[in-house]
Structure 1
Amino acid sequence: MQIAEIYEKFKESKGVTTDTRKIGEGQIFFALKGEKFNANNFAEQAIALGASYAVVDEMEHAQNPQCILVDDVLETLQKLANFHRKTFNIPVIGLTGSNGKTTNKELLVRVLSKNFKVHATKGNLNNHIGVPLTLLEMTIDTEMAVIEMGANHQREIAMLSSICEPTHGFITNLGKAHLEGFGGEEGVRKGKGELFDFLKNSNGTTFVNQTDEKLTSLIKEKSMMLVVYYGADEFALKMTAESPTVSFQIPESEHIYTTHIGGKYNFDNMQTAFAVGRFFGVSHTDAAEAIADYNPDNNRSQVIEKGSNSFLMDAYNANPSSMAASVKNFGNLRTEKQKVVILGDMFELGEYSQTEHEALGKLTSEQDFDTVVLYGENMQHALVHLPKAYYFTDKFSLHNWLIEKAFTNTYFLVKGSRGVGLESVLTVM
């Protein structure tokens, strides 16, 4: 069956799903498969649960007339998403980067929503499956889309760009993320730069923070034409404080806006949302209010109060660049409370793991923290610079230690890779 034919069935459906546990009446079920699962086996179950059709790629599971047999289910999902995308003549903003993608997306959506009906990536559905699912949820009244794209190897951003076909885009930053998959920092630069390549070839518009030397160097290297620079012009935000949370002023106003998140790195995210919003006609005051109102609730720079203790929860993900930014920011935090950092392993670093964990240990040792706590096998390499740190390799011991210490009047930074799950410390504090 051709994509155009499947699209007609899609238009009559109530959306798509890849999970029989969350299937809705009238949805189309896409039977994806991977190394450890094969959803073709659940096609009949999906139909029994109310799916209008099940898209499969194995003949033995295509006997039901409601099953649609294709060569490759994932490829069909991606092509269908691109077909749907092409029916919209609206700005589609694609974004990627080493750090801050989701925070940038959330800030930008709030700013643009002041003027437009915006559709955006939910959560972190930013990969080869998440991007198609995001696009297929766009409704006919959508006026603008913001699509987050993640990658851990080269050519992935190129592929995702070909699916969502952004008309505008930006890279948050170029840092040390997924070094193992990208093959080092130069690989990260090349991989993330694939968004710039797509925008150049499609005559799209690129937004570039001109205070970021890595990004300005990359954009010049690619000789792009349609570039909007921001961050150092007369329309830039002015940061008045970065700790404990960012405060800023908008151009031609002395009013100070206070936000719910701290750190220079988060101010850069705000600068981007403000600039892109201004490009699309959002007023300065509307954009500033939207930025100031944003309060994260997803373990990304989230401040949580428990009794006399405060927690800066940044435990959704971690890489050398984001870890360094968080540690420096927490080191600059002005507070009367004692400061304790709880740092967990950084993953996907490959041969760079020992060097990067050692470097993190050195950076942490240079800050004025009352207590340093390290968790995970890889964090042993940070100990060379932190001989007085408390080191744990299992959650049970870490939790028991925290219970015994019974911290009060303390400000904690909690940061580690997603797989470490350091947000669990909140359950025992």
Structure 2
Amino acid sequence: MPTDRETMYNAASISKILKGELLQDAGAPEIAHILLDSRKLIFPETSLFIPIVSTRRNAHQYIPELYEKGVRNFLVSEHLPLELYPDANIILVKDTLQALQTLVAWHRQQFHIPVIGITGSNGKTIVKEWLFQLLEKDYNIVRSPKSYNSQTGVPLSVWQMEAANQLAIFEAGISQPGEMEHLEKIIRPTIGIFTNIGEAHNEGFLNRRQKINEKLVLFAKSDVLIYSKDYLELNECVLQFHSQIGKRDNQQGLQLLAWSRKTDADLRIISVDKDHACTRIDALYQNAPIYISIPFVDEGSVENAIHCWALMLYMGIDHQVIRQRMDLLGNIAMRLELKQGINNSSIINDSYNSDLGSLAIALDFLQQQQQHPTRTVILSDILQSGRSDASLYEEVAGMLKKKGIHRLIGIGKNISRETRAFQDIPGLKSQFFPTMEAFIQQFSQQDFQHETILLKGARAFKFERIGKLLEHKVHQTILEINLSAIAHNVKQYQALLKPETKVMAMVKAFSYGSGSFEIANLLQFHGIDYLTVAYADEGVELRRAGITMPIMVMNPEPSSFDAILQWNLEPEIYSLLLLQQFEEEVRTSGKTDFPIHVKLDTGMHRLGFDKKDIPALARILTENGQLKVKSIFSHLAASEDPAMDEFTRRQGRLFYEMSHELQKALGYIGIRHIANSAAIQRHPDLQLDMVRLGIGMYGIDSGNGEMQEKLQNVSTLKTTIAQLKYLSEGETVGYGATWAAPGPAVIATVRIGYADGYPRSLSNGVGKMLVRGQLAPVAGIVAMDMLMLDVTHIPEVAEGDEVIVFGQQLPVQQIASWAGTIPYEILTGISQRVKRIYFEE
């Protein structure tokens, strides 16, 4: 049996590890990669595909596609028709997720190096990445890519362990009881860090104590646990856990290494002193005074740094070395950012991190982008890999080839020495520079046009310098769109649906202000069934940006029929006149069975066929072969309002009657849909064949019910302070002099106005914004490009400070309430001059 990654795994050895049944043995090729997502295939010849079965999706359906793409190793929980896969190795197990975890737990046991396991509510990824920064000079480190800490993310992380590694750092997160027991067997940490305890994922647990106790399971067989005594519940649970562990027959038991700012502890924090950009932390350790300085001042960073400090002290690292490295801690890029670039290009910024795991994630994100014909990667040397340059860059070349990259710009001495690895890739142009200075010296804006560019560099290369050259200079008011949150929200609604129920996503009105192709790319990547736009030109824009999935047009004007036919869009038909006009256009074009969507009016009384229209509608549709009814649908008027539930039920009954009558007349069954975001959750009987997901996808439950707690914030509108004014009592602010200082006042002028979409109705204290975490009321009248905030009560406010208009801590629903409107209007009203930045966490 293998003892490390260099000794080959194959189907026979994996079947033996899992006690599975090797249904078909077609040979013994090496298995080096685990594949869970068919869209992320890079190395087909050496990948083992493990189809995970969930309530929403059975990934066995992707086996034929992957076999066609060259995958030859499959671990399944269903019998397959073996004759269709004659060259495949197929292992049968009872449960594929359990088998994945068992396989990787076995793999973990082949290594006898220190393994750091990190759990907690917040800070896991920061602590992991800071420990990597602090220890990379001493150890060859393997760590979780990004925040891979779930039931599938942890196995993918631990599978990376290989013989060259000297230290491993993995994070673990859970959302319900029982999960950590599986992750403990996979990670089996020798050193544990419990960062803190908060409210994240509370919905899966009875209370916080249950959540703490579940997370502590990760450290059942660890040598030491590092934590803060300042969280009372955490400290009590740790002591109880320690007592229970101590009763077992263990050589030394679990050692506790606690730190505290309030009471005696192994690492006793004496003082925390902050200046403008740095924090000095003094402490006592083993009765000796020690200190560190970090280039951060926020409380989260202080806490994360102390956890790292305690770990380094435990590992016996010299105090002087710790101080030097702590002083150099850098920002951690917690997200992939998609920004507008020069010359109609898009920039993906992931320039703080360079390793194979994070490169694979970034390439997946790059592959989602369809808006430009060319994909470029600017890549630095990959440091601390523990691999020979030749084999490392051959693997990188394989990744670029599989992802269809058109251009590579390599920066660094190591990658520049391995040009041969990239020369034989069809369609790949490559260029290499030994240093960042050499690249910048020859940089020309004209060399980058109409392409999507991924910046992927190790911290030492300071790729932010390239970002400044390539990114489009923007107005300091920006709207940040969290693509990961959109994906999360979609999954929350999908969890409420039957597996066969399709999802139509509403991307009309610039995706509720969030963007067009950026959102559509994400939805297409995640397998949404349909998109919906308001007008044909929105659909044309998506088609030009590479969106191939079906698109319904809600307001098809006769002048747009030509574009609809040319770009294969699918119109909503809501009247006999429109039906006749479109049917004539299709007949003239020579097309047949062109898809349309029939809108029925069940009580909204805006657009749609009435019940009396059904016979004439059916007659026209059955007498010609030009049109094919793809779906029949209607629009609920008040599905979010409990007081209108009987009205909603009447709409549902009428829709059943009308759609059944039309289907019977047509002789075939189209997709039926009536449920919007609110109805998905509140009226499950109306989910039917498809649902239309709109505002809920963007993090807003229009009914303000229990669903809101499960959704994540998507949009954050932020700006900056342009200038501070110091007023005396009675001095006025803004047009009309409508606001006067009640006493000495500090007024901040910020870079946003009604031309950016901030309602003028929020003038004179009605609206508020967040400055340094505190609400600041609007002073005076909102102007076109600027407004003023009263920041008198906020200490240390400074010009250039960030101002949050709405976001996680100040929901857009609150802004809408102050303005006397609805979140839809606020979101869709954000001006196009406000630049959007998209990111994946």
TM more than 0.5: yes
1:38 aligns with 2:61: no
Change (3 A) 1:228 1:10: farther
Note if 1:17 corresponds to 2:35.
yes
Post-superposition Cα deviations, 1:330-387, rounded to whole Å, max 9, x if no partner, equal 9xx9997759899xxxxxxxxxxxxxxxxx9xx84487499652359x9367569x95
Paired residue for 2:179, among 140, 152, 156?
A: 156
Question: In structure 2, how many angstroms separate the alpha carbons of the residues matched to 1:334 and 1:400?
Answer: 19
Following the alignment from structure 1 to structure 2, what is the Cα–Cα distance between the partners of residues 295 and 95?
A: 19
Q: Offset at 1:294?
A: 2.1
Normalising by the residue count of structure 1, what TM-score does the alignment of the two structures yield? 0.70
State the match for 2:830 in structure 1: 399
Residues 246 and 267, structure 1, Cα contact 8 Å, conserved in 2: no
1:93 and 1:341 map into 2 onto residues whose CA distance is 45
Deviation at 1:179, TM superposition (A): 2.4
Q: Per-residue deviation at 1:296?
A: 1.8
| Residues 198-347 of structure 1 mapped to structure 2, 5 A cutoff | 198-199=218-219, 201-202=220-221, 204-224=223-243, 225-232=254-261, 239-241=272-274, 245-248=277-280, 257-259=293-295, 261-291=296-326, 292-299=328-335, 309=476, 338=748
Instruction: Output the aligned Cα RMSD.
Output: 4.7
Compared with structure 1, are the counterparts of its residues 298 and 68 closer, same or farther at alpha carbon in structure 2 (3 Å cutoff)? Answer: same
**Once structures 1 and 2 are overlaid, which stretch shifts more, 165-174 or 288-297?**
288-297
Does residue 379 (structure 1) correspond to residue 397 (structure 2)? The answer is no
* Distance in 2 separating the partners of 1:336 and 1:145: 48
Task: Please state how far the C-alpha of 1:235 moved relative to its aligned partner.
Answer: 7.2
Native 8 Å contact 2:60 2:76 kept in 1: yes
TM-score calculated relative to the size of structure 2: 0.38
Q: Assess, with a 3 A threshold, how the Cα gap between structure 1 residues 299 and 46 changes in structure 2: closer, same or farther.
A: closer
CA 1:371–1:27 in structure 2 vs 1: closer, same or farther (change >3 Å)? closer
Deviation, 1:158, is 2.8
Contact 1:118 1:144 in 2 (8 A): yes
Shift in Å at residue 314 of structure 1?
11
2:445 matched residue in structure 1: none
Does the aligned pair in 2 maintain the 1:127–1:150 contact within 8 Å? yes
Maintained 8 Å contact 1:23/1:49: no
CA contact (8 A) 1:196 1:219 kept: yes
Q: Which amino acid aligns with 1:154?
A: P
Shift of the alpha carbon at 1:53? Answer: 0.9
| Residue 284 to residue 134, structure 1, CA distance change in 2 (3 Å) | same
What one-letter code is carried by the residue in structure 2 that aligns with 1:287?
A: I
> Which moved further from structure 2: 393-402 or 102-111?
393-402
Amino acid at match of 2:92: L
Q: By how many angstroms is 1:87 displaced?
A: 0.9
In 2, distance between residues paired with 1:298 and 1:112?
19
Change in CA separation of 1:297 and 1:38 when aligned onto 2, cut-off 3 Å: same
Per-residue deviation, 1:175: 0.8
- Contact 2:74-2:91 within 8 A present in 1 as well: yes
SS of 1:293's equivalent in the other structure is coil
CA contact (8 A) 2:259 2:267 kept: no
| Paired AA for residue 128 in structure 1 | Q
Between 1:216-225 and 1:171-180, the stretch displaced more is: 216-225
Deviation at 1:55, TM superposition (A): 1.3
In the TM superposition, structure 1's runs of 4+ consecutive aligned residues that sit over 6 Å from their partners are: 8-11, 250-256, 302-308, 310-320, 333-337, 339-342, 388-391
Instruction: Quote the Cα distance in structure 2 between the aligned partners of 1:396 and 1:29.
Output: 41
Say if 1:197 and 1:312 are closer, same or farther in 2 by CA, change over 3 A.
farther
More strand by share: 2
Aligned partner (choices 70, 75, 83) of residue 93 of structure 2: 70
Partners of 2:52 and 2:188 in 1: CA distance: 23
The structure-2 alpha-carbon separation of the partners of 1:214 and 1:61, relative to structure 1 and needing over 3 Å to count, comes to farther
- Paired residue secondary structure (2:257): strand
Report how many residues are paired. 371
Q: Secondary structure at the match of 1:268?
A: helix
Are residues 139 and 52 of structure 1, via their aligned partners in 2, closer, same or farther at CA, if it must alter by over 3 Å? farther
SS at structure 1 position matched to 2:273? strand
Residues 106, 181 of structure 1: alpha-carbon distance in 2 compared, 3 angstrom cutoff: same
Q: Which residue of 2 aligns with 1:411?
A: none
Give the deviation of 1:159 after TM superposition: 2.6
Deviation at 1:228, TM superposition (A): 0.9
Which digits, 9 at most, give the CA deviation of each residue in 1:168-188, with x for residues without a partner?
2122111111222224xx2x4
1:192 is aligned to: 212
Q: Secondary structure at the match of 2:830?
A: helix
Residue 268 of structure 1 and its aligned partner are, at CA, apart by 0.3
Q: Which of these residues, 75, 78, 86, is aligned with residue 109 of structure 2?
A: 86
**Is structure 2 residue 189 aligned with structure 1 residue 166?**
yes
Whether contact under 8 Å (1:118, 1:142) holds in the other structure is yes
Runs of 5+ unmatched residues, structure 1: 324-329, 343-359, 407-421
Say if 1:92 and 1:373 are closer, same or farther in 2 by CA, change over 3 A. Answer: same
After superposition, the C-alpha distances for 1:50-83 in whole angstroms (9 at most, x for unaligned) are: 3341112211255534222222211111100000
Gapped regions of structure 2 (runs ≥ 5): 1-14, 244-253, 337-351, 353-463, 486-698, 700-707, 713-717, 725-747, 753-769, 777-792
Aligned to 1:123: 146
What secondary structure does 1:222 align onto?
helix
Structure 1 residue aligned with 2:46: 26
Give the Å deviation of 1:157.
2.2
Cα–Cα, structure 1 residues 296 and 237, in superposed 2: closer, same or farther, change >3 Å?
Answer: farther
2:77 is the alignment partner of 1:57: yes
Change (3 A) 1:10 1:335: farther
Distance 1:311 1:211 in 2: 37
* SS of match in other structure, 1:399: coil
Equivalent residue, structure 2, for 1:182: 205
Equivalent in the alignment of 1:352: none
The match for 2:17 is 3
| In structure 2, distance between residues paired with 1:290 and 1:298 | 21
Between Structure 1 and Structure 2, the one with more helix by share is 1
Kept in 1: contact 2:721–2:803 (CA 8 A): no
The 2-side partners of 1:230 and 1:335 are apart by 41
CA pair 389-88 structure 1, distance change in 2 beyond 3 A? farther
CA contact (8 A) 1:242 1:263 kept: no
Tell me the SS of whatever aligns to 1:189: helix
Query: Contact 2:119–2:193 (CA<8 Å) still a contact in 1?
Result: yes
Deviation at 1:238, TM superposition (A): 5.6
- Residue 313 and residue 144 in structure 1: after superposition, are their counterparts in 2 closer, same or farther (change >3 A)? farther
AA of the residue aligned to 2:256: V
Query: Which of 77, 82, 101 is residue 124 of structure 2 equivalent to?
Result: 101
Contact 1:340 1:372 in 2 (8 A): no
Q: Is the 8 A contact 1:30 1:54 kept in 2?
A: yes
The Cα shift of 1:128 comes to: 0.4
